[in-house]
Structure 1
Amino acid sequence: MAAPRDPEATKARIFDAATAEFAAHGIAGARMDRIAREAKANKQLIYAYFGNKAELFSQVLEKRLTQLAVDVPVDAQDLDGWLDRLMDYHQANPELIRLLYWEGLEYGNGAFPREETRREHYDRKVEAFAEAQRQGAISSDIPAADLLFMLIALVSWPSVQPHMRRLLTGDGEQDRERLRSSIRTAAHRMTRR
């Protein structure tokens, strides 16, 4: 007797397999047959659940970004805490950074699926920094959107270029802690009143 079908479990396996595939190969290089094989799912079922490959990528990335927003909400009032939590998250979830950079490589100069939803998501984060600036908690010398962009870049770059981080700053525990402290110092200089 065949086991009963569980569509939600199948979708979860597809999401996990798609995350790994897109993180490793990008959108253009990802293969639906590899995702299906890894998820132990029928390839046609992937299309039925998620549409085409670009749509599956968008849904995977949106789900990962939503999880980041839940796990590490922006907190401009506790800059050190937010930076530490964000660095920890990226270290524990390197696939998110890879997905974002693949998205940038493939859609960087044009509109991408679900762009308006993403803009709304980032607008809320920018507003948290703008509110901290209005309250005088952080400097308003740099516009809130620019500041958030620079802080995200500062925090994510060690995960984007781990080999460069290793070559320039070292790879020991003390080296990583020193770099973390340096990132906090740079962030404080950008936000100091």
Structure 2
Amino acid sequence: MAGVRDPEATKARIFEAATAEFAAHGIAGARVDRIAREAKANKQLIYAYFGNKAELFSQVLEARLTQLAAEVPVDAEEVDTWIDRLMDYHAAHPELIRLIYWEGLEYGTDTFPHEDERKRHYDRKVAVFAEAQRKGVISSEIPPADLLFMLIALVSWSTVQPQMRRVLTGDTDEDRARLRASVRAAARRIVS
């Protein structure tokens, strides 16, 4: 007796396999046949469900960004707490940063798929910083979009460059705790 097809379970397996594949190899280096094999799915199903490889990458990245936004909402009024939660998230989900950096490497300054949707996503986060500035909770010296960009870069760099983190700051639990405290201190100075 043949098994019952479950399209949602198949899509979930494809998403997980695609996340790992794209994080490891980028868009150009990823192979749909490897994604299909890891997901235990038919290659043609991937195209049927998601269109082309670039569209699959885009949907995977958007889903991961949505997950981040839900689990770690921006908090401009409690920057230390937000920084800690964001660093914890990136440590637990390094594939998200890898996906974002692959996107940057492969698209460069060119427009990427769903860029307008992404801009709206980040506009909501920028609005949180703008409101905190309007209320006088954080400094308005730096425009809110620039401020968010700098804070994200500050938090994510140790995930992007783990080898430089090890070389420059060490790799023990104590070293990582010290670096985290330094990132929080830098963030506080930027927003105060």
| TM-score tier after normalising by the smaller chain length | over 0.9
Alignment of 1:40-79 (within 5 A): 40-79=40-79
Say whether residues 1:131 and 2:131 are aligned partners.
yes
SS in 1 for 2:27: helix
Determine the structure 2 residue equivalent to 1:111: 111
Normalised by the length of structure 2, the TM-score is: 0.99
SS in 2 for 1:77: coil
Amino acid in structure 2 at the alignment position of 1:64: R
* Counterpart-to-counterpart distance in 2, 1:121 and 1:22: 22
* Counterpart-to-counterpart distance in 1, 2:80 and 2:187: 9
Normalised by the length of structure 1, the TM-score is: 0.99
> How far 1:107 moved relative to its partner?
1.0
> How far 1:68 moved relative to its partner?
0.2
* Counterpart-to-counterpart distance in 2, 1:148 and 1:16: 29
Say whether residues 1:159 and 2:170 are aligned partners.
no
> How far 1:21 moved relative to its partner?
0.3
Amino acid in structure 2 at the alignment position of 1:74: V
SS in 1 for 2:184: helix
* Counterpart-to-counterpart distance in 2, 1:47 and 1:22: 16
- Which ranges of structure 2 fall in alignment gaps of 5 or more residues? none
**CA deviation digits over 1:88-133, x for unaligned, max 9?**
0000000000000000001121100000000000000000000000
Determine the structure 2 residue equivalent to 1:184: 184
Determine the structure 2 residue equivalent to 1:93: 93
* Counterpart-to-counterpart distance in 2, 1:79 and 1:150: 13
* Counterpart-to-counterpart distance in 1, 2:187 and 2:81: 12
Determine the structure 2 residue equivalent to 1:145: 145
* Counterpart-to-counterpart distance in 2, 1:108 and 1:84: 29
Aligned residue-pair number:
192
* Counterpart-to-counterpart distance in 2, 1:133 and 1:175: 33
Structure 1 residue runs of 4 or more that deviate by more than 2 Å after TM superposition? none
Q: CA RMSD in A?
A: 0.4
Determine the structure 2 residue equivalent to 1:174: 174
Determine the structure 1 residue equivalent to 2:28: 28
**CA deviation digits over 1:104-163, x for unaligned, max 9?**
001121100000000000000000000000000000111000000000000000000001
Amino acid in structure 1 at the alignment position of 2:170: G
Amino acid in structure 2 at the alignment position of 1:157: W
* Counterpart-to-counterpart distance in 1, 2:68 and 2:187: 20
- Percent identical among aligned pairs is 77
Amino acid in structure 2 at the alignment position of 1:132: A
Determine the structure 2 residue equivalent to 1:13: 13
